């Protein structure tokens, strides 16, 4: 969105707060960790200085680093974001304050700091304006004196401060002066300077620079006038600057949501980025360039190329022992095409590990529509290297859930989501140099999109070709996202759009993705033997046809991965299979179940009231996978498990009939 568009946004939406989706934790363990680490570092540098183990400048820098860390604890404590227990914040704040500045009590500091938040950039009332409003040549002199305006502010407001707080601060000031004078008279002033006074000033210099100067200087709006433009984020090279600045490169998030602990700033920004940009949030790069929202989006797109040089988060499987449902709020519902929507979920912190996923996995959505339980399985379309969990839902005429998603589902609603399952993707390795091809049609793009994003991010030497069939441009899901990815990975990603009803599309790419067209690609630049892994997703006929042809043309069967949204209809004869007894291991418990003649293992488990996982019931999704520990079964159809997995003893329980009188299956394996 451009700045011009923003100006025309309705006043209400400009001033309503985006929901940060973050709260104060019972206890913030990262802050506890920083506090403990900083105290240990300070103790070490003190010991090293006293025993002459390290040169004086080195111990000064190490102590200054510890004080810098303790300021972050103090800062979060002053916003009561270390813990939901007030006394915990006060305890952490009081101890940290002694290291940062012994002249002011924690309560006085918290008061003055809140004055800064209330009056940011107001030269008369913002105590930090002493730093942020300084001319560039004054800044280095003012940085180490940052506590001077704090003391001035306190003196100005002394009459309205509680007596106990004033007494505490007065006592600290007197005690500090007494310690310095005593040190001078006893010949220990230099030791005190090396251990505490000089490191304190060095830390203050850096704190003033990073907490005040970088986020606030040169911004003209005050907090009262426009809170989105009184503070800025410094974007770029987050992999180094976020840990180095302890997240203060995203200081704007702190000013918008002061009670969020520092380690959640970047996640909060990413979750609400569109909402902040719609409010014309102030953004600068680490090199000092100021960006409006439109320029920021362009900058992000171009920097995607650089991003591949940076470390990325490796995809991880869900930590859940067996697939199970959780209530998860919907973060947003956005239209993709006329008949499809993108649903993003706001996964709560405590469920993040359970909802981590690998590329190509899917989730099952369960909801009650008009009193009827509905369960649908959707591939995750977001990248497994990101923090986002998203699915795309395409309208199926008469489809209960897809109609509901298109017409009624809204951000803030809650859905029951099963933890991710499935094994469509392949393991990724940062040093791999492979050649991948995905052939998909329609909503078959969803798992392929997740796979190609994660693959290109993790394997910086690998190449990816996407062949994507649709009716026309308008019905193409993720058209813009794919354009962006193609621009971002121009040298490694090739996208071939095949369109069946688009007269303006190039003639050689007009029609369906089928057997004949595959032959042409195989004969030109996609020789089956040169491709390491194939991913096929779309209508069952297309997928099975292409898979057969690829294997005939030399592709290794284990390297042709297929994902179907449903299997074939089967016509089972109950008498074909006998009754049996089944021991079902599920979520750490074992249950004995009787299986009636003709029932599948899954059916008998469900009839016995067990919450066994399932979704498609057609042998396509793999959600019902379990390991056979004892006995044997016959599967009617299997479109989800590779030969190697089946040989490992795994079966689709929705398709499995016992062929021995008793069996044991383990859903937790
Ligand atoms: S429930 Fe989908 S394969 Fe069994």
To test ligand 1's pocket by mutation, which of 418, 606, 614 has the most ligand atoms within 8 angstroms of CB?
614
Which pLDDT does position 11 carry in this prediction?
37
Q: Please report whether residue 193 resides in a domain.
A: yes
345-390 pLDDT, tens per residue? 999 989 999 999 999 999 999 988 877 778 888 999 999 988 899 9
By the 10 Å C-beta count (0-12 exposed, 13-18 middle, 19+ buried), 410 is classed as: exposed
Predicted TM-score (pTM) of this structure: 0.55
Shared domain for 165 and 48, answered yes or no, is yes
Neighbour-count burial of 185, counting CB atoms closer than 10 A to its CB (0-12 exposed, 13-18 middle, 19+ buried)? exposed
Ligand 1 centre distance from Cα of residue 367 (Å): 18
Structural element, H or E, at residue 154: helix 147-156
Whether residue 46 is found in the same domain as residue 175: yes
pLDDT, position 112 = 93
Tokens of 377: 């399985």
Q: List, as one string, the DSSP characters of 575-616.
A: GGS--EEEEEEETTEEEEEEE-TT--HHHHHHHTT-----S-
212 and 233, same domain (yes or no): no
615 alpha carbon to ligand 1 midpoint, in Å? Answer: 6
The atom number, within ligand 1, closest to the CA of 652 reads: 4
- 123, 223 Cβ separation under 8 angstroms: no
The sign of the dihedral angle between the CA atoms of 417, 420, 423, 424 is positive
Distance 618 CA to ligand 1 centre (A): 5
Poorest-pLDDT segment among 1-10, 183-192, 242-251, 623-632:
1-10
**Quick one: which of 69, 72, 71, 73 has its CA closest to 41?**
69
CB-hemisphere CA count at 13 Å for 380?
A: 36
Buried b (16+ CB within 10 A) or exposed e, 480-505: eebeebeebbeebbbebbbbeebeeb
Q: Determine, yes or no, domain membership for 319.
A: no
Note whether 595 and 625 are same-domain residues. yes
Asked if 227 and 89 touch (Cβ cutoff 8 Å), the reply is no
Q: Which region among 258-267, 304-313, 373-382, 383-392 has the lowest average model confidence (pLDDT)?
A: 304-313
Tens-digit pLDDT profile for residues 624-669: 999 999 999 999 888 888 888 899 999 999 999 999 999 999 998 8
User: 259 near 21, Cβ under 8 Å?
Assistant: no
Q: Return the closest-CA partner of residue 258 out of 77, 451, 411.
A: 77
Closest CA to 537 of 655, 425, 642, 614: 425
Q: What is the reported pLDDT for 13?
A: 39
* Mean pLDDT, residues 76-90: 93
Q: What is the pLDDT of residue 407?
A: 94
324 Cα–ligand 1 center, Å? 14
Rounded distance from Cα 599 to ligand 1 centre (Å): 15
Summarised one tens digit per residue, pLDDT across range 160-173 is: 899 999 999 999 99
Residue 504 has pLDDT above 90, yes or no: no
Quickly count: other Cβ atoms within 10 Å of residue 434's Cβ: 16
pLDDT in tens, 406-447: 999 999 999 999 999 888 888 898 788 999 999 999 999 999
d(C-alpha 359, C-alpha 431), whole Å: 18
Q: If you measure from the C-alpha of residue 567 to the centroid of ligand 1, how many angstroms do you get, rounded to a whole number?
A: 9
Phi, psi of 380 (to 5 degrees): -75, 130
Q: Count of domains in the chain?
A: 5
pLDDT at 14 (0 to 100) = 41
Q: Distance from first CA to last CA of the chain, Å, rounded?
A: 48
* Contact present, 282 and 296 (Cβ < 8 Å): no
Ligand 1 centroid to Cα of residue 638, in Å, is: 9
- Ligand 1: list residues with CB < 6 Å: 614-617, 619-624, 640, 652, 654
Pair (410, 445) in one structural domain: no
pLDDT band at 3 (very low <50, low <70, confident <90, very high): very low
Same domain? 542 vs 581: no
For position 571, what pLDDT does the model report? 54
Average pLDDT over residues 184-201: 95
Which residue has better confidence, 292 or 322? Answer: 292
pLDDT band at residue 274 using 50, 70 and 90 as cut-offs: confident
Gap between the Cα atoms of 175 and 109, Å rounded: 17
Name the percent of the chain lying above pLDDT 70.
94
* 555 Cα to the center of ligand 1, angstroms: 26
Cross-strand bridge partners of residue 389: 345
Domain end residue (candidates: 564, 588, 623): 564
pLDDT at residue 625, as a whole number: 92
Q: What band does 4 get if pLDDT is binned at 50, 70 and 90?
A: very low
Mean pLDDT, the chain, as a whole number? 88
**In this structure, what CATH number is given to the domain that contains residue 508?**
3.40.50.80
If you measure from the C-alpha of residue 564 to the centroid of ligand 1, how many angstroms do you get, rounded to a whole number?
Answer: 11
Nearest Cα residue to atom 3 of ligand 1: 619
Higher pLDDT, 182 or 515: 182
DSSP letters for 423-486: --S----TT---EEEEEEEGGGHHHHHHHHHHHHHH-TT-EEEEEEEESSSTT-TTHHHHHHHH
Within 489-638, residue ranges assigned H as helices are 515-523, 540-552, 601-607
Q: Is residue 13 part of a domain?
A: no
Q: How far apart are CA 229 and CA 338, in angstroms?
A: 36
Range of the domain at 608: 574-666
Residue to substitute in 378, 652, 667 for testing ligand 1 pocket (most ligand atoms within 8 angstroms of CB): 652
In this prediction, residues 603-625 reach a mean pLDDT of 88
User: Within this chain, do residues 68 and 160 fall inside the same structural domain, yes or no?
Assistant: yes
Ligand 1, closest atom to CA 621?
2
pLDDT of residue 5: 31
Residue from 654, 665, 667 to probe ligand 1 pocket by mutation (most atoms less than 8 Å from CB): 654
Instruction: Give the Å distance between the CA of 633 and the centre of ligand 1.
Output: 15
pLDDT mean over 47-60: 94
Q: Residues 499, 634: one domain?
A: no
Cβ atoms < 10 Å from Cβ of 192: 16
Of 537, 564, 591, which one is at a domain's C-terminal end?
Answer: 564
Q: From the CA of 620, give the closest atom in ligand 1.
A: 3
Do both 51 and 151 map to the same domain? Answer: yes
At 380, which CATH number? 2.40.30.10
Residue 14 CA, ligand 1 centroid: distance in Å: 46
Tokens of 455: 């693959």
Q: Is 162 domain-assigned?
A: yes
For residue range 526-556, list pLDDT tens digits in order: 887 889 999 999 988 899 899 999 999 989 8
CA of 614 to the centre of ligand 1 (A): 5
Q: Which residues of 125-151 are buried (b: 16+ CB within 10 A; e: fewer)?
A: bbbbbbbbbbeeeebeebbbebbebbb
Assess whether pLDDT exceeds 80 at residue 307. Answer: no
Across the range 280-305, mean pLDDT stands at 84
- CA triple 44-244-135, angle to 5 deg: 110
Residue 642 belongs to some domain of the structure: yes
Give the C-alpha separation, 627 to 290, whole Å: 56
More confident residue, 23 or 641: 641
Give the pLDDT of residue 387.
82
> Of 24, 21, 16, whose CA–CA distance to 330 is shortest?
21
Would you say 393 and 381 are in contact if contact means Cβ atoms under 8 Å apart? no
With bands split at pLDDT 50, 70 and 90, how would you rate the model's confidence at 311? low
| Residue among 605, 618, 657 to mutate when testing ligand 1 (max atoms within 8 A of CB) | 618
Ligand 1 pocket mutation, candidates 623, 626, 656, criterion most atoms within 8 A of CB? 623
**Is 409 domain-assigned?**
yes
CA of 384 from ligand 1 middle (Å) equals 23
Cα 667 to averaged position of ligand 1 atoms, centre (Å): 13
Pairing of strands 589-595, 232-235: unpaired
- Give the mutation target among 619, 651, 665 for probing the ligand 1 site: most ligand atoms within 8 A of CB: 619
Question: Would you say residue 113 has pLDDT above 50?
Answer: yes
Same domain? 33 vs 138: yes
The model's confidence at residue 606, banded by pLDDT at 50, 70 and 90, is very high
- Among 184, 151, 185, residue whose Cα is nearest residue 170: 151
- 329 and 357 belong to one structural domain: yes
% the chain with pLDDT above 90: 60
Ligand 1 atom having least distance to the Cα of 377: 2
pLDDT of residue 305: 54
Q: How confident is the model at residue 6 (pLDDT cuts 50, 70, 90)?
A: very low
Instruction: Give the per-residue pLDDT at 572.
Output: 54
- Nearest-CA neighbor of 90 among 62, 103, 68, 109? 109
> pLDDT band at residue 7, thresholds of 50, 70 and 90?
very low
10 lies in a domain?
Answer: no
The residue whose CB lies within 8 Å of the most ligand 1 atoms, and thus the one to mutate among 620, 635, 656, is 620
Closest CA to 116 of 144, 172, 157, 61: 157
213-251 as b/e, with b when 16 or more CB fall inside 10 Å?
Answer: bbbbbebeebbeebbbbbbbbbbbbbeebbeebbbbbbb
- At residue 422, φ and ψ (nearest 5 deg) are 105, 160
123/645 Cα distance (integer angstroms)? 67
Q: Could you tell me if residue 174 is left (phi over 0), alpha (psi between -120 and 50 degrees) or otherwise beta?
A: alpha
- CA distances for 668 relative to 368, 556, 611, 629, angstroms: 27, 30, 13, 11
> CA nearest 340: which of 404, 394, 380?
394
The closest alpha carbon to 63, from 44, 35, 90, belongs to 44
**Residues 446 and 544 both lie in one domain:** yes
Q: How distant, in Å, are the alpha carbons of 82, 228, 345 from that of 366?
A: 36, 38, 14
When pLDDT is averaged across residues 231-237 and rounded to a whole number, the result is: 90
CB 315 within 8 A of CB 458: yes
E strand or H helix that includes residue 186: helix 163-186
- Distance in Å, CA 422 to ligand 1 centroid: 10
Domain containing residue 637: CATH number: 3.10.20.30
Query: Is residue 427 one of the residues assigned to a domain?
Result: no
| Domain boundary residue, one of 564, 586, 604 | 564
pLDDT at 563: 87
The first and second tokens of residue 324, run together, are 């199970």
């Amino acid at each position: 969105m451009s700045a011009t568009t923003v100006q025309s946004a309705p006043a209400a939406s400009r001033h309503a707060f985006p929901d940060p989706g973050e709260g104060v934790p019972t206890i913030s363990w990262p802050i506890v960790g920083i506090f403990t680490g900083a105290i240990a570092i300070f103790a070490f540098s003190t010991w090293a200085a006293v025993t002459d183990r390290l040169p004086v400048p080195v111990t000064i820098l190490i102590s200054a680093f510890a004080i810098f860390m303790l300021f972050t604890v103090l800062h979060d404590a002053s916003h009561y974001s270390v813990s939901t227990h007030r006394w915990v914040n006060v305890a952490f704040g009081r101890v940290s304050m002694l290291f940062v500045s012994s002249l002011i009590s924690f309560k006085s500091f918290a008061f003055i700091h809140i004055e800064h938040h209330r009056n940011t950039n107001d030269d008369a009332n913002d105590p930090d304006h002493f730093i942020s409003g300084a001319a560039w040549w004054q800044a280095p002199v003012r940085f180490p004196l940052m506590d001077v305006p704090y003391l001035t502010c306190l003196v100005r407001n002394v009459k309205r401060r509680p007596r106990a707080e004033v007494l505490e601060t007065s006592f600290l000031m007197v005690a500090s002066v007494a310690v310095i004078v005593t040190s001078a008279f006893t010949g220990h002033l230099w030791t005190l300077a090396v251990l505490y006074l000089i490191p304190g000033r060095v830390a203050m210099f850096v704190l003033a620079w990073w907490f005040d100067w970088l986020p606030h200087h040169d911004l003209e709006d005050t907090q009262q006038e426009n809170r989105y433009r009184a503070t800025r984020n410094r974007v770029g090279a987050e992999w180094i600057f976020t840990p180095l600045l302890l997240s203060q490169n995203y200081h704007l998030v702190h000013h918008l949501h002061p009670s969020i602990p520092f380690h959640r700033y970047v996640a909060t920004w990413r979750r609400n980025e569109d909402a902040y940009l719609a409010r014309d949030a102030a953004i600068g790069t680490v090199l000092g360039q100021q960006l409006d929202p439109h320029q920021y989006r362009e900058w992000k797109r171009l920097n995607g190329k650089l991003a591949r040089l940076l470390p990325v988060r490796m995809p991880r499987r869900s930590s859940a022992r067996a697939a199970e449902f959780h209530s998860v709020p919907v973060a947003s519902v956005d239209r993709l095409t006329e008949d499809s929507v993108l649903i993003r979920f706001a996964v709560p912190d405590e469920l993040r590990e359970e909802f981590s996923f690998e590329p190509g996995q899917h989730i099952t959505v369960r909801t009650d529509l008009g009193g009827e339980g509905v369960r649908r399985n959707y591939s995750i379309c977001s990248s497994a290297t990101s923090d986002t969990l998203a699915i795309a839902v395409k309208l199926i005429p008469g489809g209960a859930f897809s109609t509901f998603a298109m017409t009624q589902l809204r951000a803030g609603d809650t859905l029951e989501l099963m933890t991710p399952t499935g094994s469509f993707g392949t393991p990724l390795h940062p040093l791999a140099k492979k050649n991948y091809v995905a052939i998909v049609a329609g909503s078959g793009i969803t798992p392929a999109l997740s796979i190609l994003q994660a693959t290109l991010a993790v394997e910086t030497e690998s190449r990816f070709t996407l062949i994507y069939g649709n009716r026309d441009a308008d019905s193409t899901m993720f058209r813009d996202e794919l354009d962006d990815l193609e621009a971002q990975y121009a040298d490694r990603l090739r996208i071939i759009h095949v369109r069946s009803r688009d007269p303006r599309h190039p003639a050689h790419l007009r029609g369906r993705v089928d057997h004949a067209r595959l032959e042409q690609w195989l004969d030109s630049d996609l020789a089956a033997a040169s491709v390491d892994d194939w991913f096929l997703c779309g209508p069952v006929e297309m997928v099975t046809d292409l898979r057969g042809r690829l294997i005939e043309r030399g592709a290794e069967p284990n390297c042709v991965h297929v994902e179907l949204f449903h299997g074939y209809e089967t016509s089972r004869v109950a008498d074909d299979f006998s009754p049996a007894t089944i021991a079902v291991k599920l979520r750490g418990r074992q249950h004995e179940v009787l299986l009636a003649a003709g029932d599948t293992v899954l059916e008998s488990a469900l009839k016995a009231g067990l919450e066994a996982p399932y979704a498609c019931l057609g042998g396509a999704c793999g959600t019902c996978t379990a390991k056979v520990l004892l006995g044997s079964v016959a599967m009617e159809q299997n479109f989800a498990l590779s030969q190697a997995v089946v040989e490992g003893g795994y079966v689709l329980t929705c398709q499995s009939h016992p062929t021995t009188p008793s069996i044991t299956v383990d859903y937790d394996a």
